[in-house]
A and B are shown apart, each in its own frame.
Chain A
């Protein structure tokens, strides 16, 4: 009778050892999978969605060179055949560099033409400094369900003072030339093909035209949808919380209406280069201008073709191991 439990034990051990022999893979089930919370990569493919920022920063010691362009109105009174559907004009151009200090923290510097819209914004020749820090990174095992990145910029207008008391370029002192943006980018990669970002934004402009707002809040939403292996559809939309009082004033004074910027585009990636081909009603490229004062609308032909080309240069010399 004493043999009975032993026999059971024997069968048990035997089956275990057999299992171990036939399937060596079982040996590593645990140690390999117990590996920590790996962060999700490529929620977006570049630091910028279209008009808005993405949660992505540069890799450590990578340098990004970027050129962004927005043409003139495709249709409406400023578009059509006479401007070759806006291609003769440029509403805004940006040339800049981004550099990764660490895998979480990057800096950028650049210049844009600036897109004055006459009534509300007259500032041009903008120089910007920007920084982005990854506070949280979504992890593959969902222990952190979303990514949070902080973004901030400081913009200075280098233009000659415009001697026009009603404009925001009638600079009295240097600080009048400055504006800044503070933004939180909350992003989630839902699966391989679909990512979404929410961008609560605060825009501070030190000097604005009469009845315009020094402090303005906005909320952006952006998304990415993969169509093929290399091509994604990207879109973003910004709500700007301008006071009714201010809207009414500009409408009554100069028939000036504010719209929310919407951008839709195709993004192509070819290892190191990212090219995006977009359409948007926003004339300006910097948040400091397009959130407060987008004044053209899709419905009246006030949208334009735009593109951005970026190239990443790897400056680090770390070895493969």
Chain B
């Protein structure tokens, strides 16, 4: 009997684990409109995970993976503003507020509350997002403003006309169910 219960529990716990879907090529971009020139950059190498049972959401992106139109801008972004050597990643850890069932097809406008860490400074956000479940695939989209000053990113007075103080951030992720191997690999992280 005990064995049976254990086995059932094991299956249940495995099932819980399988409810995590991930994306390894989440698209993150930002746009800032300023009097002199608009600045935009994009990264296609963000990672994200969505836990269907707990409705937890996670995003992570390497700052150096953002590509700009101008190489010099990219260098300034990493060097002067984001200090990417010191703070290589931006991370978001949050939870969907609404009680929704992501196993059913449909479009769900939701709000997500969580902590966004950029430039080593964490701030709590409550952002609007849209989740789409179709054909067993989940996609997530969200656009929200980030105020640079909130994350300790300073703009010198000299270039204040070149850079907007509030930047529109857009995230888009398409989720896949984690494969068994992948699920195992993060349970026991390998060191390279």
Contacts and interface: CB of A to CB of B under 8 A. Distances in A.
B178 to A, nearest CB: 8
A48 interface: no
A17 B76 CA distance: 41
Contacts of B62: 32, 35
B32 to A, nearest CB: 13
B174 interface: no
B107 interface: no
Interface stretch (B3-11, B125-133, B138-146): B3-11
Interface residues on A, range: 35 or more
A10 interface: yes
A83 interface: no
Contacts of B154: 229
Query: For B72, B83, B154, which residue has the most chain A Cβ atoms within 10 angstroms?
Result: B72
Contacts of A29: 186, 189
Interface string B1-24: 011001101100110110010101
Interface residues of B, number: 58
Given A30-B185, A140-B85, A229-B156, A2 B3 contact: yes
Contacts of A321: 42, 44, 67
B60 A318 contact: no
Contact of A314 (B20, B72, B156): B72
A31 interface: yes
Contacts of B58: 24-25, 27-28
A9 B17 CA distance: 15
A6 B3 contact: yes
Nearest to A189: B85
A41 B78 contact: yes
Interface string A157-185: 00000000000000000000000000000
A9 B156 contact: no
Nearest to B89: A32
A230 B76 CA distance: 11
A42 interface: yes
Interface in A244-282: 269-272
A88 interface: no
A24 B20 contact: yes
Contacts, number: 131
Contact of A21 (B7, B51, B67): B51
Nearest to B7: A6
B20 A320 contact: no
Contacts of B40: 320
A270 B60 contact: no
Contacts of B79: 41-42
A165 B20 CA distance: 86
Interface in B160-192: 162, 178, 185-187, 189-190, 192
Contacts of A14: 9, 13
B112 interface: no
A318 B56 contact: no
29 contacts: A2-B3, A3-B3, A3-B6, A6-B3, A10-B10, A21-B51, A21-B53, A21-B54, A21-B56, A22-B54, A24-B93, A25-B58, A25-B91, A27-B20, A28-B58, A29-B189, A30-B189, A30-B190, A31-B24, A40-B85, A41-B79, A103-B71, A230-B158, A270-B156, A271-B72, A271-B76, A271-B162, A314-B69, A320-B42
